[in-house]
A = this chain, B = another copy of it.
């Protein structure tokens, strides 16, 4: 009966695939990938702008000192391009180039500009994604810190499984392992949650205590978000604010 066996096998594979689909890929996994893609765009836009600067400096080396950010530099080359149209070009020691030469380096600048625009579009999408997949964390921490925590944990599921003491030092692994390895090195008080205004903005003495309270609320919010429970983000935030007030 090979045909019956084949049929059975097919059914079994189909069922396994379905189970795999349900267990492996969830929409919150997008958050991690999107955060990593934004980081990569930041890195690559920087690398490409370094090359753009070297290239454009054959023509107008003085522009680099006149600009303060990579965006400003890239936009000037892409949108203006010709040094005669920029201030301070009269005394330039750069080479006089043909129109085609200038248009080519402008085209390269426009590509980098496109990448920076894409970064903006993806960042806005990330905010939507976070507000939909992790509404409680989002209300407590805002989209940036929520996305960063989920990305560091690897997934919303893993964040939901973490004790608050782990969440408190997430992103400070280096300091944590130094503490565990060497005598006399204090344990870190906070990882990325340092960027939370009430942690960063408080006196050093209470910072660790506030970070502990905050990590406690994050642990709850992550669990509620993962199991798609009711929205309690505003309640958590109120409780936290009260606890912080008592500490100060």
For residue A54, CB closer than 8 A to chain B, the reply is: yes
**Number of copies of this protein chain within its complex:** 2
Residues of chain B lying within 8 A (CB to CB) of residue A20: 93
B107, A30: Cβ atoms closer than 8 Å: no
Q: Which residue of chain B has the shortest Cβ distance to A23 in the bound complex?
A: B93
Residues of B close to A125: CB separation below 8 A: 100, 104
A interface bracket (residues with beta carbon within 8 Å of B): 35 or more
Q: Is the CB of A54 within 8 A of B27?
A: no
Verify A37–B52 contact, CB threshold 8 A: yes
Q: A202 contacts the other chain (Cβ, under 8 Å)?
A: no
Query: Are A55 and B37 in contact, CB atoms less than 8 angstroms apart?
Result: yes
Interface of chain A, main secondary structure: helix
**Contact partner, A47, options B43, B61, B93, Cβ 8 Å:** B43
Give Cα distance in the complex from A141 to B108, angstroms: 27
Query: Which of A75-83, A110-118, A160-168, A220-228 touches B?
Result: A110-118
Q: Nearest Cβ distance between residue A192 and chain B, in whole angstroms?
A: 20
Interface residues as binary, A32-43 with B (CB distance below 8 Å gives 1, 0 otherwise): 011011001101
Enumerate 20 A-B pairs (CB-CB under 8 Å) in ascending A order: A17-B91, A21-B92, A21-B95, A25-B59, A25-B95, A27-B95, A29-B95, A33-B54, A33-B58, A34-B104, A37-B48, A37-B51, A40-B50, A104-B121, A104-B122, A104-B125, A107-B118, A107-B122, A108-B118, A108-B122
